[in-house]
Amino acid sequence: CIRDRDYVQAYQFKDGTYQQFQLTLKKMSTNPPSITDETASLYNLYRNMAHFFRVLGKKRVNLTRDVLQNEDEILESVMQTFYLWATDETADKEKTGQPTLKTLYTYSGFFLNTLAGKSYLFRRNSKIRLLTIYYSTLILDRANDEQLNPAGIDIRPHIEFLLNDLQNQIGLIHQKQYLSRLMQLADKYKLS
């Protein structure tokens, strides 16, 4: 279990890692990044660039970075599990602390549509970058279905990008599943 790793224990969270996870979700939900007016001013751009440090603080950001660096072997499965948990419509989000679709959409838009979000992803390895874009695209599709895309983010270029890049990515366990889902989305959005 990740919480038992020495590098996680070194952070000495008094309430434990699950409590930190819940607190992180709450902080991110109540302090979303800007996805529409990021380039309206330098202030907005800098605010978005520092979003995670500003909202989560240095300690939580460093822990997240350490997990990304040390748990590469399981991150694909963890990201899939998180996506399924976060998008489970049968769960009582008040009790479980799951983010709302609006919050998921905002962070998906941040990664797909802003300079700060793209910059953040370019500093990650290709697997994490592609999987983040993949799950962000699935969330954007779900938001489109619910008519919850107020920023008007066009999903089509992200589908095309992923189809190309995921075919060339090495080392993904569920690569065929991702490509199959993207082909369904390509048909749905009438891409050639």
Average pLDDT over residues 63-87: 91
Distance of CA 184 to the CA centre of its chain: 21
Q: Is 5 left (phi over 0), alpha (psi -120 to 50) or beta?
A: beta
Q: How distant, in Å, are the alpha carbons of 19, 42, 180 from that of 176?
A: 35, 42, 6
Average pLDDT over residues 41-45: 94
pTM: 0.92
The span from the first CA to the last CA of the chain, in angstroms, equals 44
172 confidence band (pLDDT: 50, 70, 90): very high
2 confidence band (pLDDT: 50, 70, 90): low
Q: What is the pLDDT of residue 92?
A: 74
Q: Please tell me the least confidently modeled range out of 4-13, 106-115, 146-155, 170-179.
A: 4-13
Q: What is the pLDDT of residue 3?
A: 65
Phi, psi (rounded to 5 degrees) for 115: -60, -40
Average pLDDT over residues 153-163: 97
Distance of CA 20 to the CA centre of its chain: 18
Q: Report d(CA 150, CA 105) in Å as an integer.
A: 10
Per-residue model confidence as pLDDT tens digits over 94-141 = 777 889 999 999 999 999 999 999 999 999 999 999 999 999 999 999
Longest dimension (CA), the chain: 53
